Amino acid sequence: MKTGVSTICAALLLAVIALPVFAQRALFFGYEKGEERRYLLGPPEALPAGESATWSIYLRELVGEPAEGIFELTHEWHRARTRIEPAFGTITGIRSAGELRVNAHGFPLMVEFRTERAVAGIGLESYTILYRYEGGSYRKQIRIEGMEELVHTAMIRPHRYLDRSVPSGLDALAPMDPNCSIPAPVDARQMASVGPPTRPAGLTPPPIVQRRQFVDRRSTTRVSKDPRGGCRESLFANPGLISLMLPELWEQGTGEREFLLMTPAGSFGMPATGGGFDFTRAASPDTNSVIERLRYLERVEVEVGSRQRDAWKFDRMGDFEAIYVDDDGVVLRVDFSGRSMLGLTGNEGLNVDPAQMSRSRLSIRLLFPSEY
């Protein structure tokens, strides 16, 4: 925390422009030890029939001095297979659990998570991924049952706020992206190859796959595909992670700040559109990071489930079109842009009336303890 003259100047500036000041350093980025926050994708009328998604974040432990925090993260996503989708290879569920260790600056020192995917006609597929910060970059380990462990370096792109020696200037968050969707199943044996594998007969990569972006029009849950790093994990679209970024925003003193975000990537997958494989990047370094801007807009009243809450509204960050935060630094709700509901290329295959969806804003909202 800043001290002396710089602290006084920052406080005066915040008072002049009427920005909220959260006592987040007194706790640990607004979290008490043992505190859990849960989030739900909705509202129901904005989702295809049978689709649901939840996230949770739990501050399990504080260690050392200055303190480092260990957070437990969970995420589940489920949906029903539509009649037009193949009975073999369609992903109908994802379950992820992980651990995030950050220092007093919110910098991710260690990230480890395990993801299981329910695949029609196949069963469960799973993988475990570990990122450990070592001397300016991350050592990334990929573990898949029946395969030799894959290890390579995940680089951090340069940024004006990044200080590798402290370390500081990097936050863990993966805002969803409407241009991409959840990766489909992958053959582990082909995934281990660093050369072009043999493409199954009949599968020709369409142009959108060749651009290394793809859209699954059947699902509202989105992640991003980094050509150098695989697919971002929706586990890290957890709104509770935004709270770890807020102290840096207030210390900036202007209500606006650019952030370098660590976007942990999962296994190397086959596009959900069913077109082609690309594992040539499996042995090459990846950045697993993106630059986004967070900007304070105004004080508003926001609907959170059936309740109304006063909140500070923030501008778009990635595909999070609006972010609402209460006076304690708790993220109440994040809204998505309209593109996320129907995808970029149409609404075929959705089990919902498109007109009804267009009237509903897709969001992830805080669940209150009485709703657990």
- Is there a domain that residue 336 lies in? no
- Give the contacts of 88 (CB within 8 A, at least 6 positions apart): 120, 121, 122
- Report if residue 225 sits inside a domain: yes
Residue 365 lies in a domain: no
Give domain status of residue 42, yes or no: yes
- How far is residue 106 from each of residues 129, 217, 262, 266, 303, measured CA to CA in Å? 20, 35, 11, 22, 29
Least confident interval from 16-20, 127-131, 155-159, 214-218: 214-218
Is residue 315, in this structure, part of any structural domain at all?
no
Residue 59 lies in domain: 4-294
Neighbours of 70 (CB within 10 A): 17
What is the C-alpha to C-alpha distance for residues 269 and 276, in angstroms, rounded to an integer?
10
Domain count across the chain? 1
Per-residue model confidence as pLDDT tens digits over 293-320: 999 999 999 999 999 999 999 998 877 8
Task: Please give the sequence-ordered ranges of beta strands (E in DSSP) within the chain, or none if there are none.
Answer: 36-42, 52-63, 68-78, 91-102, 108-119, 123-134, 137-143, 150-154, 171-172, 225-226, 230-231, 256-262, 289-304, 307-314, 320-325, 331-336, 363-367
Single pTM value for the model:
0.76
Residue 338 placed within a domain: no
Instruction: Specify if 307 maps to a domain.
Output: no
Mean pLDDT is lowest, of 71-85, 151-165, 177-191, for: 177-191
Mean per-residue pLDDT for 16-41? 76
Expressed in percent and rounded to 5, the helix, strand and coil fractions of the chain are 15, 40, 50
Q: Is 244 a residue whose pLDDT tops 70?
A: yes
**Does 368 fall in a domain?**
no
pLDDT digits (tens, 9 = 90+) for 350-365: 344 444 444 467 899 9
Percent of the chain clearing pLDDT 90 (strictly above): 40
Q: Is the predicted pLDDT of residue 263 greater than 70, yes or no?
A: yes
